[in-house]
């Protein structure tokens, strides 16, 4: 390559402008510009497709420099930029800083001031960058290439196919670019963590983390970010060691790269929907599948209740004395664990209703339906494609691709709390179906749909599992969740939007908040899931035990931050949405005690059954929806043509 075919783009400011920049004229065509117009700059330079991007670090803060490098790197890997080589230009001689710049996407590092011999060799960076980009895009676009070759095939080509062929190709190209543009628009992940710190975690600490991950008392509040990273790494490493997965050879470094990027995609400023919550959901998912006998615990001594001598996962609806591990294979477990850690990537800390009411771009893209969950699923699958799990995301690589993708995507979509009652009804329907007709695990056509629903049930339980944890853990999660709800309410007030009582500070006490959610949302889910998966019955007991404590706290005089008037208002403002004309929908019958069945009765303590608190019978009053309230609690459809069921004394609270 002739160096004269390269352009140079210098990003600096007047204060730090360097006289040595003049040396660039001796080798390159020079055009001062800013990085924000890099793409159009390159596209407008006919005959000069290669561009050196010289970033003067004195014109940036450290974080903004790294963000800029990350943005260029992402756009290059996504195919949105071609032949662009970012180079950091700095007075610093720190080797650690130089390595940081390279880690964040710089192709080279040049120490001030420029020297002629350095300028003469800068163009080699374009060759290096182009080679790396070519290899990345070649690997990334293999699926597209396969699709294109099938479209270009002339075998049995008729007139209609010839006319349609170009349109089909354009769809592949548009979708390929749209996904990457979509992700890059919403995410500029920070990569300022020192990745070497996870490798400094001692073997003793690793053992402690394995013990905690093996216990239902898992509480991540005292773990720092690097220990949370290590928790995810340990669980994935344990799952990847399962039989039938050992052929998926992933190095520790590649696995850490993946986990760090997933962690960076979570918003640390969210009180609840942050990486800590994702790790908690992953641990709950892992514990559930261990409880069902599908996976072994990392530390069997940490959970005496999961005895290796007790048969688990043997349910009455499975034929030939099969167990759940004959239905859920290691590949399915990997997909489920991955979905659990990625189920809330990029969560903004507000719910779908807020996204829809404020007409956010995501709400428009996903047509107001499961907005955040659709976004999480799309982004997380894109992350999988960019890392060591890429072979699992290509349909021509593995025959199980369709099942893997279904489990990942459908499990994430199942966490939409706006569709909670619909999902509970699906699980109830599954139980009735399985109770009438046993499942033959060798009949793959019969079990595929059941597996998808079971995986969705597991991750859905894991997503709200904090209310079934031991009370001290459940209480802490309740506090941070309420804080996030209140922050949304504060934002709604600033925007002049109406605020639901659950989001309005001082309207609903923490006790009422938790009792309403446990009785009307969590208990309904766990009870129907326990019908299908009796090994989950322990969680139902924990929910009832926690309700007893919250009820006792509610009766005990203390400052809950809610006055008598506010409490009364909160109760009268509570509602659930049902379709007009369907008076039996959404749990209109009183919530009953957990139903017993043969598989779980022997595992339940009769004394604990007697201690369970009977849930109060719900009273319903039909009221027409006021026109000004038609945007309340409308996860996708709005409340037009619907009515509110006002309930007392319970509260229906959606997370």
* pLDDT tens profile 330-385: 999 999 999 999 999 989 999 999 999 998 888 888 999 999 999 999 999 989 98
Look at the alpha carbons of 482, 468, 434, 597 in this order and tell me if their dihedral is positive or negative: negative
Whether the upstream peptide bond of residue 649 has omega within 30° of 0, thus cis, is: yes
* pLDDT tens profile 508-525: 999 999 999 999 999 999
C-beta separation of 337 from 285 below 8 A: yes
What pLDDT was estimated at residue 384?
A: 92
**3-137: which CATH number, 3.30.1280.10, 3.20.20.80, 3.40.50.2300, 1.10.510.10?**
3.40.50.2300
- Cα–Cα distance measured from residue 298 to residue 275, given in angstroms and rounded to the nearest whole number: 22
Of the candidates 363, 184, 215, the one whose C-alpha atom is nearest the C-alpha of residue 286 is 215
The Cα-based distances of 21 to 9, 18, 48, 424, 633 in angstroms read: 11, 6, 20, 66, 59
- Cα–Cα distance measured from residue 590 to residue 616, given in angstroms and rounded to the nearest whole number: 8
The Cα-based distances of 65 to 126, 161, 283, 574 in angstroms read: 20, 50, 35, 48
Higher pLDDT, 506 or 71: 506
Residue with tokens 């799952």: 239
What pLDDT was estimated at residue 540?
A: 96
Tokens of 183: 């992700």
Tokens of 430: 């599954």
Domain ranges of the chain: 3-137
Q: How many CA atoms lie within 13 A of 170 on its CB side?
A: 5
DSSP letter at 619 equals E
Structure-derived torsion over alpha carbons of residues 559, 564, 565, 569, reported in degrees to the nearest 10: 90
* pLDDT tens profile 564-616: 333 333 333 333 333 333 333 333 333 344 444 444 444 444 444 434 444 43
Count other Cβ atoms within 10 Å, centred on residue 30. 14
- Cα–Cα distance measured from residue 590 to residue 522, given in angstroms and rounded to the nearest whole number: 15
Tokens of 173: 């190209």
In percent, the amount of the chain with pLDDT more than 70 equals 68
Residue with tokens 């590649």: 254
- Cα–Cα distance measured from residue 617 to residue 589, given in angstroms and rounded to the nearest whole number: 8
DSSP letter at 614 equals P
**Average pLDDT of the segment spanning 186-203:** 70
* pLDDT tens profile 130-141: 666 555 555 544
Higher pLDDT, 489 or 85: 489
What pLDDT was estimated at residue 521?
A: 94
DSSP letter at 593 equals P
pTM over 0.85, yes/no = no
What pLDDT was estimated at residue 176?
A: 52
Considering the chain, what is the average pLDDT of its residues? 77
What pLDDT was estimated at residue 569?
A: 35
Coil, helix or strand at residue 155: coil
CA 326 centroid distance within chain: 28
The Cα-based distances of 13 to 115, 247, 498 in angstroms read: 20, 52, 45
Predicted confidence (pLDDT) at residue 196 exceeds the cutoff of 50: yes
What pLDDT was estimated at residue 14?
A: 63
What pLDDT was estimated at residue 404?
A: 93
- Cα–Cα distance measured from residue 466 to residue 423, given in angstroms and rounded to the nearest whole number: 19
């Amino acid at each position: 390559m002739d160096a004269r075919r390269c352009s140079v783009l210098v990003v600096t400011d007047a204060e730090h402008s360097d006289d040595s920049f003049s040396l660039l004229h001796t080798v390159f065509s020079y055009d001062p510009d800013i990085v924000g117009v890099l793409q159009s700059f390159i596209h407008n330079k006919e005959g000069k497709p290669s561009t050196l991007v010289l970033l003067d670090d004195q014109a940036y803060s450290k974080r903004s420099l790294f963000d800029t490098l990350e943005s260029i790197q992402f756009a290059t890997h996504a195919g949105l930029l071609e032949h662009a080589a970012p180079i950091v230009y700095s007075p610093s001689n720190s080797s650690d800083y130089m390595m940081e710049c390279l880690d964040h996407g710089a192709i080279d590092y040049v120490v001030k001031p420029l020297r002629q011999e350095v300028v003469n060799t800068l163009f080699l960076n374009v060759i290096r960058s182009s080679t790396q980009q070519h290899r990345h895009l070649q690997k990334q676009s293999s699926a597209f290439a396969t699709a294109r070759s099938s479209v270009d095939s002339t075998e049995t080509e008729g007139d209609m196919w010839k006319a349609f062929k170009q349109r089909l190709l354009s769809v592949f190209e548009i979708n390929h670019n749209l996904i990457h543009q979509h992700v890059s628009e919403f995410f500029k992940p920070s990569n300022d963590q020192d990745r070497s710190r996870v490798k400094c975690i001692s073997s003793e600490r690793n053992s402690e983390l394995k013990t905690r991950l093996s216990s239902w008392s898992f509480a991540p509040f005292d773990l720092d970010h690097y220990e949370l990273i290590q928790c995810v790494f340990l669980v994935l490493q344990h799952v990847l060691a399962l039989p039938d997965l050992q052929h998926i050879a992933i190095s520790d470094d590649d696995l850490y790269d993946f986990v760090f990027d997933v962690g960076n995609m979570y918003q640390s400023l969210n009180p609840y929907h942050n990486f800590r919550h994702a790790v908690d959901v992953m641990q709950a998912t892992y514990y559930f599948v261990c409880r069902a006998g599908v996976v072994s615990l990392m530390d069997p001594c940490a959970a005496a209740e999961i005895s290796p001598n007790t048969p688990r996962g043997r349910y009455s609806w499975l034929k030939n004395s099969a167990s759940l591990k004959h239905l859920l294979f290691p590949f399915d477990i990997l997909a489920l664990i991955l979905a659990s850690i990625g189920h809330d990537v990029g969560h903004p800390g507000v719910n779908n209703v807020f996204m829809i009411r404020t007409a956010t771009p995501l709400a428009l893209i996903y047509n107001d339906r499961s907005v955040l969950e659709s976004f999480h699923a799309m982004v997380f699958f894109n992350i999988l494609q960019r890392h060591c799990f890429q072979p699992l995301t290509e349909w021509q690589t593995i025959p199980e691709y369709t099942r893997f993708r279904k489990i990942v995507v459908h499990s994430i979509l199942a966490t939409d709390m706006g569709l909670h009652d619909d999902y509970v009804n699906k699980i109830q329907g599954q139980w009735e179906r399985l109770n009438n007709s046993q499942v033959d695990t060798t009949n793959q056509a019969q079990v595929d749909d059941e597996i998808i629903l079971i995986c969705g049930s597991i991750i859905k339980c894991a997503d709200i599992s904090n209310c079934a944890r031991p009370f001290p853990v459940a209480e802490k999660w309740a506090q941070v969740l309420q804080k996030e709800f209140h922050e949304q309410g504060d934002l709604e007030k600033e925007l002049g939007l109406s605020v639901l009582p659950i989001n309005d500070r001082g309207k609903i006490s923490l006790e009422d908040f938790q009792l309403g959610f446990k009785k009307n949302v969590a208990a309904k889910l766990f009870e129907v899931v326990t019908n299908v998966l009796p090994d989950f019955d322990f969680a139902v007991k924990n929910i009832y035990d926690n309700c007893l404590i919250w009820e006792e706290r509610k009766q005990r005089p203390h400052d809950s931050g809610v006055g008598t008037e506010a409490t009364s208002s909160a109760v009268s403002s509570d509602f659930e949405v049902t379709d007009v004309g369907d008076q039996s929908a959404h749990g209109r019958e009183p919530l009953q005690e957990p139903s017993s069945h043969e598989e779980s009765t022997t595992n339940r303590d009769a004394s604990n059954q007697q201690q369970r608190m009977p849930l109060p019978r719900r009273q319903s009053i039909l009221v027409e929806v006021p026109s000004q309230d038609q945007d309340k609690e409308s996860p996708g459809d709005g409340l037009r043509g619907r009515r509110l069921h006002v309930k007392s004394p319970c509260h229906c609270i959606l997370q």
